[in-house]
Amino acid sequence: MLSTFRFLLAVTLGLTLFSASVFAKEVKMTYYWVSEESDFAGPKNIQLRSCSGEVLATVNRQFAASARMEGTAILGNGKVINLQCDCNGGYSCFSFIDEKLYPYGQVLPPTTSPMAPPLMVEQLKGIKLPNGQIHNGCVRVDDQGWSFGDNQIDFMVGIKKYYVQMDNKYENLLNYIDIAHEECVPGVYKAPELARIALSVTF
């Protein structure tokens, strides 16, 4: 069965949105994805540990750094890990999660996210996604970014190859976007490449 997902944003905005008529102009948009151990080769000499120090996996250094940066990663054995605490420059900050419930990590519930209402991203309207579907421009914020500054939106694209495809196709078009706080319904999109871990994700 094809996986279904919506578009999730991690957001840190130094602005306030009050109504559909108020737009935020030139908000920086970057991307993030689930890191996959299968994308990395080389010696496995870094231990990923829990916050209490339990060894969860021994992996390649580049994959360890990627898992820490992206926040969620799929190990070679199919298990999913997620950031659980402050890494303090190391790798003792992960936990295993139930990939069927949280395939893209543990996010802020909509009731607690300060930007939970849907947002309309003007530049995403009509954009053709890597799977061939057309984006309707409506997104939902379910997470809060930690690795970037104010007035920025981090666009979850699922896996890295989707980022590469979108970046190659649209280049500078999506680097800076205009957003509005308005009533809209995020679309549901399918990602067959991600079906192996039974994804059901809000993007």
Using DSSP's 3-state secondary structure scheme, residue 128 falls into strand
CA gap 124, 137 in Å, rounded: 5
Using DSSP's 3-state secondary structure scheme, residue 63 falls into helix
pLDDT in tens, 111-122: 334 445 788 888
The predicted pLDDT at position 159 comes to: 84
Query: In terms of Cα–Cα distance, which of 115, 111, 120, 131 is closest to 199?
Result: 131
The predicted pLDDT at position 113 comes to: 42
pLDDT in tens, 93-151: 999 986 565 544 444 343 334 445 788 888 999 999 888 889 999 988 766 655 555 67
Under 8 Å between Cβ of 103 and 203: no
pLDDT in tens, 60-87: 999 999 999 988 899 999 898 999 999 9
Using DSSP's 3-state secondary structure scheme, residue 92 falls into strand
CA gap 188, 178 in Å, rounded: 22
Using DSSP's 3-state secondary structure scheme, residue 166 falls into helix
pLDDT in tens, 34-49: 899 999 999 999 999 9
Other CB atoms within a 10 A radius of the CB of residue 150 amount to 10
Other CB atoms within a 10 A radius of the CB of residue 191 amount to 21
CA gap 152, 99 in Å, rounded: 28
Under 8 Å between Cβ of 200 and 158: no
Query: In terms of Cα–Cα distance, which of 34, 23, 28 is closest to 149?
Result: 28
Under 8 Å between Cβ of 193 and 159: yes
Length of the chain: 203
Q: What is the DSSP letter of 194?
A: G
